[in-house]
Structure 1
Amino acid sequence: MSRRDTIEVPNPLHTLRVMGRFVRRQVKRSGSMPGTLVHTGEKKMDRVRLRVLDYDPSGLREAEVAMPEELWALRDTATTSWINVDGLHDLDLISRFGEQFRLHPLVLEDLVHVGQRPKHEEYDDYDYIVLPMLTWDVERGIVQDEQLSLVVGPHWVVTFQEREGDVFEPVRERLRAEKGRIRARGADYLAYALIDAVVDRYFEVLEKVGDRTEELELEALDDPGPDMMPRLHQLKRELVVLRRAVWPVRDLLDGLVEGESTHVTDETRVFFRDVYDHAMQVIETVEALRDVVSGAIDLYLSTVAHRTNEVMKVLTIMASIFIPLTFMAGIYGMNFEHMPELHLPWAYPVLWVAMLAVAGGMVMWFRRRGWL
């Protein structure tokens, strides 16, 4: 049996999992002291992975670090350092980062409390930025989001991710190959390059969602199946996830462009303005896709209603033709003794001729009215 021959029945547990993507489970005890570290996400790695790229215009050092103590000296070096942390479940390690880089307790709390709204916060020694990294799960047909946190200091950037694997390999390649101006710029330009890579991935996700939307729209117009509505609603939910993820990024980037952060130079603000334009394009595309999906749902309902009306019209015409024939058959099917037509030798063929004439006349009348 093909997929089109089955109707997907919504599973209540699946509905709960879907809503869990919008409403995060609160595991922190009510009334806890501000800055209490509680990891609210899943443990997606067995061991936290630490990687560092330390560079200046003359060279680059790239390494995977086993002990976090090797990273503390990078805070005060003249070179630009990018420290990447994969995995947020080691609260002791996060706390030690906070001590060494002098991070505010509320920043540490937001680092491990995943599902934060995209935002930009300015502190005396650094800027704290949160935004989602999005990927498209081809097998499940859903949008997966991951919280990315950036702490941008005078000469260093620390990125915190939930799991291994990201969208930053093009940035690493540029640093290794010394392409463009990235080696000669500071930490604020590195933060721009990382955020730009995240926003560029949004377009790839939108392309996948757009292809899926076009496919379902054509199917809704040509040959909608019984499982069409569940798939359209699933796609609509994914667009809600996208909208919820990317809409606040506009305000985040607007703050970086228009703000007065001492850690972002005027030269870098120009590049952030370009990322802001890209984010606006993403938002506009998401809104357009939402309209297309809503139109596809209306189109599907209209197509199904039209088909139902066509079927009902045929059944109604057939019933209208047979009603007078049933009446005539009922008259001569009564068991009265004195029915003169029953004793005539030509009564039976006359009745057939009359019934066929009535049926033929009604068919011609329906055709003349355009009902057939």
Structure 2
Amino acid sequence: MALPDPLACFDIDKNGKARSVDLDAKPLPESWRWTHFDLTEPDLENWLVTQVDPLIAAAVLAPETRPRVDAFGDGLIVTLRGVNLNPEADPEDMVSLRLWVTKARVISVRKRRLMALDALRQDAEEGTAPSTSSAFLTALVDGLSYRIENVSLQFEEMVDALEESSLDAGANTSKECLELRQSIIKLRRFVGPQREALDRLVTDTTIILHSNKSNHLRESANRTARTVEALDATRDRLAAIQEHLDAQTAMKLGRNSYVLSVMAAIFLPLGFLTGLFGVNVAGMPGVDANWAFAGLCIASVLIGAALYAAFRWRDWL
């Protein structure tokens, strides 16, 4: 059977010293092994079903995932999401990470590069790593939560700028408001279930976790919960901004329609007057008088001025 090509394969001892090994190498004594793969690796599925239960392999290789934590035998099936910090990518287009975690090993699979996991891999390449699989999981969750929180704070700053811009009557920020609102909704879609998954990881599935690691995970879960609350508040602020912009637009349209209505009301009798004197029938007064056109113009101006004064007096203008 052909072996898949891992992105990383390390044996890590109890002192946190990491050593790169071949995938088929015998594990070092008193150490745990971390193997990391890309989901598109062609030989991964055949190898994985020889290492773990088929149900676990199916969960790790699922094409679409949502954040979850489930105990299975002596290990955990963990699926998490991290913000997409790859170049020219949108942070809210979150990257899926699938893990099988036991005391003796961690198998991780990703579809795209994930910065929180890359940081752990770079540390391992330099020779240092978490000393246990539970410490590895704790460090990973902390890195994911930290980066999600930073993106949430960036969104808050963008909303602050939009709130200031919306106070400017000449500014049109509807497009920016809609795009930012969509980004927050996409981020909230996965961060919400991730909060629930981390709560379950802390409270229900501490099979492989030491108590001190549970405390660190609890802090990460609290951070994720705060992020969800901040995203909800930011989304509500954007809704308020959009309502304010819609109200401003409605006021402008109403004011313009009102002005046009008043102008139509002023010119309506003038149009009737000019239309009446424009008929070409016998007996029209002033046909033979040189002063008739000037008189009609003066009368139209006086009628218009009188109507304008009447509207002003009634506070219609």
Amino acid paired to 1:361: A
SS of corresponding position for 1:167: helix
Alpha-carbon distance in 2 for matches of 1:283, 1:212: 17
CA contact (8 A) 2:67 2:197 kept: yes
CA contact (8 A) 1:168 1:194 kept: yes
How many angstroms does 1:245 deviate by? 0.6
Q: Is 2:26 the counterpart of 1:77?
A: no
Q: Hey, what does 1:19 align to over in structure 2?
A: none
What's 2:55 paired with? 106
Letter in 1 for 2:214: R
Tell me which residue corresponds to 2:209: 264
Match of 1:95 in 2: 46
Compared CA separation, residues 121 and 55, structure 1 to 2 (3 A): same
Q: Which residue of 2 aligns with 1:10?
A: none
- Select between 197-206 and 269-278 the one with higher mean Cα deviation: 197-206
Q: Say whether the 8 Å CA contact 2:98–2:109 is kept in structure 1.
A: yes
1:157 to 79, 98, 106: 106
Q: Deviations over 1:35-83 (max 9, x none)?
A: xxxxxxxxxxxx95431343346462343x6x5213xx33x73124332
Give the CA deviation at 1:286: 1.6
- Does residue 271 of structure 2 align to residue 326 of structure 1? yes
1:81 corresponds to which letter in structure 2?
R
CA distance in 2, matches of 1:288, 1:79: 45
User: 2:8 aligns to what?
Assistant: 51
The one-letter code of the counterpart of 1:109 is: A
CA RMSD of aligned residues (A): 3.0
> What stretches of structure 1 of length at least 5 have no aligned partner?
1-46
What's the secondary structure of 1:77's corresponding residue? coil
Partner of residue 358 from structure 1, selected from 291, 297, 303 = 303
Contact 2:60 2:99 in 1 (8 A): no
In structure 2, give the amino acid aligned to 1:50.
Answer: L
Aligned residues of 1:132 and 1:148 also touching (Cα < 8 A): yes
Match of 1:120 in 2: 69
**Count of residues paired in the alignment:** 312
TM-score (norm. length: structure 1):
0.73
Equivalent position SS for 1:143: coil
1:289 aligns to 2:234 (yes or no): yes
How far residue 194 of structure 1 moved from its aligned partner, in angstroms, is: 0.4
CA deviations 1:5-25 (Å, max 9, x no partner) are: xxxxxxxxxxxxxxxxxxxxx
1:112: Cα distance to partner?
Answer: 1.6
Any conservation in 2 of the 1:78–1:155 contact (CA below 8 Å)? Answer: no
Which blocks of at least 5 consecutive residues in structure 2 are unaligned? none
Write the letter of the residue equivalent to 1:78. E
Distance in structure 2 (CA, Å) of the matches to 1:367 and 1:99 = 89
Deviations 1:77-99 (A, max 9, x none): 312433222x1123532332342
Match of 1:147 among 96, 115, 123: 96
Question: Which whole-Å CA distance do the structure 1 matches of 2:301 and 2:91 have between them?
Answer: 60
